[in-house]
Structure 1
């Protein structure tokens, strides 16, 4: 397998550090490795594969050296400025921010779902929103078989989705301290408010799920709606997804379809109180599905419960999986 030069941009953040962990675990064929961040973090040390690396300041000249792939998780503004610079130097950027996701020139990829879209990249590939990624792994096999007509998302999202500041708000809030990141206390509370409110009354997070679902599944006409809620959980997003199909289905067949889907763990035994839980799914890369039951309020509908680690599969692991697909095609 061809060895590559790889950079992690935003290496000191929550997702950046998880990039390093996942890269170590999956043993990508890396020859030269670089860690980059803002001037605030430059000079600090990070360990990767037993070797210490000094964090470089990200500048316009960071990609003057040969870098094949760069994993970005440094925010939309940083990606807007530096991803095109990297791309112009021949580096393939896999970007975890929302900056490029809805750009028609940029593929939006979940490797279990639409790996074929990687082929038309122009050196920038977008990593979808964390809540969208896990939903796509669950929906794709069902869409292929029964054709999805409508989706209703209700999410229960961990504070780690808001970065270290969100994590601290819950940690400190449990001690009785006032929030700094969220507009209201998150401890012992649920906030139906993720990202900013838009003119249509939805939040940006909700519209991300709507628009990204349509783009990834290549169906601009799919009817999708979402309510996204921040809950007092440190890790793992949970989602209740209601799906209406064009075609009829048999429950045994649908369960078998999910059981055999790539990246899915079916945990669906209500009699034994077995269903996906955030505390169990944390640290895993698979998408866990349970509470599968027919929706009798429509002709052909089903409800499913979907849980995944939002920092791993919802961010770092998905990006590394995209890198793995690119490396395969480099042979």
Structure 2
């Protein structure tokens, strides 16, 4: 007997990706249930070679469900994740609703797997922001050896991070450029087609955006609270895949060659770094892949013990769905859940 898994938000970009990854990785589930809002009930979504009919969240009974993969937005998670956790079902939440809660572990399996044991307080585990997930995967092996003191990162984030409507807006605006059609802007404050927008989420009092604040707070929680980090998060006209230009200062000396060797041997990372035209990864190539790719590893001569590198990943996978499924696999592999038959 396997486990019963519910995917909440199954009709969205990330929810569909979760179903695909559960199937691809042969997750040990004997039943997978697709769940969404009442208005989506009855729709059909694919799970491997099966078709699942979507059930309504507000009428679903989670009492016999082992794991809930939650990807329905922050407000829905705030309302439902604690309720679901109280039934004994463990919620792995992809929203920001509980990332900063002291009783909820924030997990990237390659970075802080030991923190997962704290989930039992609320039966909730948080998945980090997509831009943070790939960053900390790349920083972790370097921090373990040379101790990071400061990080400066500029992100180049695809529109899929803002949902399907944002992807549609990029497509429609791009078409309008070539057909002289009407240019409509609904999801973004400025035109995204053939443009870049230096704002993701709302502005805070200090002039940073909430997306930038998330990267700071989440890196400190998962990696080291002493790390100083500043971010500039930019939306770019790419459908899938986030890229980041990262500058790191260390307490101890570390050469580009040492950093490359560490990254090559680290879990979840692939180094593609040839110093020739095209000898690096781009979001287009990373789409559909599980790895976090690191390229352009080089010394920063403007500071002591400085390195710069380029980091790319599929934000719908490692930034969201894949990381969520990996957390669920950790629960099982570490025997933190009991199978329903034995419960």
TM-score normalised per structure 1 = 0.97
Report if aligned partners of 2:128, 2:218 keep a CA contact under 8 Å in 1: yes
Q: Which moved more, 1:130-139 or 1:177-186?
A: 177-186
Report if aligned partners of 2:296, 2:310 keep a CA contact under 8 Å in 1: yes
- Aligned residue-pair number: 328
Report if aligned partners of 2:67, 2:328 keep a CA contact under 8 Å in 1: yes
Report if aligned partners of 1:268, 1:274 keep a CA contact under 8 Å in 2: yes
Give yes or no for the alignment of 1:173 onto 2:173.
yes
Show structure 1 runs of 5+ residues with no match: none
Q: Give the Cα separation in 1 of the matches to 2:43 and 2:108.
A: 32
| Structure 2 counterpart SS, 1:185 | coil
For 1:76-115, what aligned pairs fall within 5 Å after superposition?
76-115=74-113
Aligned equivalent of 2:153: 153
Report if aligned partners of 1:263, 1:287 keep a CA contact under 8 Å in 2: yes
Q: CA distance change for structure 1 residues 33 and 311 in 2, over 3 Å: closer, same or farther?
A: same
| Structure 2 counterpart SS, 1:285 | coil
User: What are the superposed Cα offsets for residues 105-163 of structure 1, whole Å, 9 maximum, x if unpaired?
Assistant: 10000011111111111310000000000001100000001000000010000000000
Report if aligned partners of 2:153, 2:245 keep a CA contact under 8 Å in 1: yes
User: What are the superposed Cα offsets for residues 244-295 of structure 1, whole Å, 9 maximum, x if unpaired?
Assistant: 0000113221110011110000011112530111111110010000011100
| Structure 2 counterpart SS, 1:200 | coil
Q: Give the Cα separation in 2 of the matches to 1:159 and 1:192.
A: 13
Q: Displacement of 1:47 after TM fit?
A: 2.4
User: What are the superposed Cα offsets for residues 271-329 of structure 1, whole Å, 9 maximum, x if unpaired?
Assistant: 25301111111100100000111000111000010000000111000000000111112
Report if aligned partners of 2:282, 2:312 keep a CA contact under 8 Å in 1: yes
Aligned equivalent of 2:312: 307
Q: Displacement of 1:50 after TM fit?
A: 2.1
Aligned equivalent of 1:213: 219
Aligned equivalent of 1:66: 64
For 1:160-309, what aligned pairs fall within 5 Å after superposition?
160-176=160-176, 177-217=183-223, 219-309=224-314
| Structure 2 counterpart SS, 1:6 | strand
Aligned equivalent of 1:54: 53
Show structure 2 runs of 5+ residues with no match: 177-182, 339-343
Q: Give the Cα separation in 2 of the matches to 1:247 and 1:64.
A: 50
| Structure 2 counterpart SS, 1:174 | helix
| Structure 1 counterpart SS, 2:163 | helix
Q: Give the Cα separation in 1 of the matches to 2:234 and 2:274.
A: 26
Report if aligned partners of 1:63, 1:85 keep a CA contact under 8 Å in 2: no
Q: Give the Cα separation in 1 of the matches to 2:256 and 2:78.
A: 45
TM-score normalised per structure 2 = 0.94
Aligned equivalent of 2:34: 35
Q: Give the Cα separation in 2 of the matches to 1:121 and 1:62.
A: 23
| Structure 1 counterpart SS, 2:202 | coil
Give yes or no for the alignment of 1:317 onto 2:322.
yes
